[in-house]
Amino acid sequence: MERIGLAPGGKTGEVLAQDIAQRFPQGVAVAKSTNNRLYAKVDRSVLVSLCTYMRDALDFEHVTCVGGVDWLEQGKMQVVYHITSYANKVTAELVVDLPRDKPEVDSITFLWGGANWHERETWDMFGIVFVGHPKLERLLNPAGTEVFPFRKDFVTGRRV
């Protein structure tokens, strides 16, 4: 399919998905790939190596967003990364599943500095620990807050 506005030498999402699936047969499950999108479920053990490969070999320069999802009934938490490539004009959405009783994942701040505050906010709101983060402190809530307000078992109500 002819790609409108594709940068010279750029690859489509389908090509990148094949590349990633070939390189990481274990731990990465590409759910869907379109012209400029790429959706994948990633095991947390291969997240850092996948991200390093995406940054160094596949020209993903930019973390657009890091967020969390709390699945209370299923007993798991998810971290959703949106990583963008300007050269390929592709946004990759990586989803990492975490157990709810021990939500820990490796930090990718050392790869993209833009992930710093996103990860910090995700910890602030969901309590997901990013191992290796340079400054995992309260960002939006005042220092000394002892709750994680975006968790589904958090009881809303007047506190201050």
Partner 1 sequence: MDLRLAPQAVAMSSAEFLSWSGEVIDQLMRYSGAKKAVDKLTAPIWSWAIRNATVPLHFGIACCALEMAAASGPRFDAERLGMIYRSSPRQCEVLLVNGWVTAKLRPDLRRLYEQMAEPRWVVAMGECAISGGPWYDSHNTIQGVDTFIPVDVYIPGCPPRPEAMIDGFMKLHKKINKEMKGTFLND
Which chain residues interact with partner 1 by CB under 8 A? Answer: 140-142, 147, 149, 154, 156-160
**Which positions ≥6 away from 137 have C-beta within 8 Å?**
120, 143
Evaluate whether 87 touches 9 at the Cβ level (below 8 Å): yes
**Residue 160: CB minimum distance to partner 1, A:** 4
Sheet of strand 28-33, all strands in order from the earlier edge strand to the far edge:
28-33, 37-42, 90-99, 76-85, 62-71
Measured from the CB atom, is 102 or 158 closer to partner 1? 158
Task: Give Cα 125 distance to the centre of its chain.
Answer: 15
**Residue 92: CB minimum distance to partner 1, A:** 33
Measured from the CB atom, is 102 or 159 closer to partner 1? 159
Owner of token pair 């309590």: 127
Measured from the CB atom, is 8 or 157 closer to partner 1? 157
**Residue 158: CB minimum distance to partner 1, A:** 6
Tokens matching residue 104: 């820990």
**Residue 95: CB minimum distance to partner 1, A:** 27
Measured from the CB atom, is 72 or 147 closer to partner 1? 147
Angle at 106 between CA 47 and CA 61, to 5 degrees: 60
